[in-house]
Amino acid sequence: MGSDAVAIQCKADSVGSDWVLNGEKAWVTNAAGADLFAVWAQTDAAAGSRGIAGFLVEREAEGLTVTDPYKLMGGHAMGTAGILLRDCRVPADGLISPPGEGFQVAMQGITAARIFVGAQCCGILKAGLERAIGYVSRRKAFGRPVGSFQGLQWELVNVATEREAARLLVYRAAAAADRGLSATVEAAQAKKFATAAAVSGLVTCMQAMGAHGFLIDSTLGRHLATAKMAEYLDGTSEIQNVVVARSLFGGALD
């Protein structure tokens, strides 16, 4: 599964009171260390999203294999890997979301995850800004701290302003979710904005720090890789656009 979440290829067949899962899921966060997997699989391809069901599968279940973790540019601690399911038998009580409900449950989970990713990017950007401001306040050129040059200050002011805007979008989405409202569009807007603000803002912070920002020890490269990763997680920025466009246009273009 990638951007087209309904097109899940992993199959679940009902056998007696059990289910048998077959398929493959690439890109599973925490797969390297997880003891338990939430797996969404298609029970009836003709039913589309209504055929999708959710299962809990133990790591030790026969037929489940975790691949080696991917070698990534960042996010190493996430232990992201793939899982293979070959005639993996799941008992009836492993069904956590029956067909007809599974897809909706998955989408609710993804809305919460998008808010979390937006918040993560605000935190990353805060760390980048603090580091850059500390550095430019100490580093001197032309007889004064480089942070005293207005051109450089304004670059960092723009980053700080984008970060505040991202935080407010994230808070708005989180507040809607907390109140039990649908936060689908708010979460998409928050994630789209916060991830882009983090990627571009961290590049600005690196530039403000001169070559020093390019050192591994400056940590900005690691933050930048994580922010870039966030532009894929839980739906790419383009897919957030699809979600927002749907709410803007409604059925007007059908």
Ligand X SMILES: Cc1cc2nc3c(=O)[nH]c(=O)nc-3n(C[C@H](O)[C@H](O)[C@H](O)COP(=O)(O)OP(=O)(O)OC[C@H]3O[C@@H](n4cnc5c(N)ncnc54)[C@H](O)[C@@H]3O)c2cc1C
Residues forming contacts to ligand X in the complex (CB under 6 A) are: 1-3, 27-29, 72, 75, 78, 80, 229, 232-236, 238-239, 242
User: Minimal distance in Å, beta carbon 156 to ligand X?
Assistant: 28
Asked whether 209 and 159 are in contact (CB, 8 A), the reply is: no
Q: Which is nearer to ligand X, 164 or 238 (CB)?
A: 238
Q: Which is nearer to ligand X, 4 or 93 (CB)?
A: 4
Q: Which is nearer to ligand X, 25 or 167 (CB)?
A: 25
User: Minimal distance in Å, beta carbon 143 to ligand X?
Assistant: 45
User: Minimal distance in Å, beta carbon 168 to ligand X?
Assistant: 25
Q: Which is nearer to ligand X, 110 or 136 (CB)?
A: 110
Asked whether 236 and 228 are in contact (CB, 8 A), the reply is: no
CA distance 43 to 62: 20
User: Minimal distance in Å, beta carbon 76 to ligand X?
Assistant: 10
User: Minimal distance in Å, beta carbon 40 to ligand X?
Assistant: 8
C-alpha distances out from residue 85 to 25, 61, 64, 79, Å: 8, 10, 5, 19
Q: Which is nearer to ligand X, 88 or 209 (CB)?
A: 88
Q: Which is nearer to ligand X, 5 or 152 (CB)?
A: 5
Residue type, 186: E
CA distance 52 to 41: 6
Q: Which is nearer to ligand X, 78 or 176 (CB)?
A: 78
Using the structure block, give the residue that is written with the tokens 């989408």: 107
Q: Which helix (H) or strand (E) holds 81?
A: strand 81-90
User: Minimal distance in Å, beta carbon 212 to ligand X?
Assistant: 28
At 52, list the tokens: 């999708």
Closest CA to 39 of 15, 22, 17: 22
Ranked by CB distance to ligand X, the top (closest) residue is 2
Sign of the alpha-carbon torsion through 182, 188, 189, 195: positive
Q: Is 219 helix (H, G, I), strand (E, B) or coil?
A: coil
User: Minimal distance in Å, beta carbon 219 to ligand X?
Assistant: 19
Asked whether 199 and 227 are in contact (CB, 8 A), the reply is: yes
Closest CA to 39 of 50, 26, 47: 26
| Tally of CA atoms within 13 A in the half-sphere of 29 that contains its CB | 11
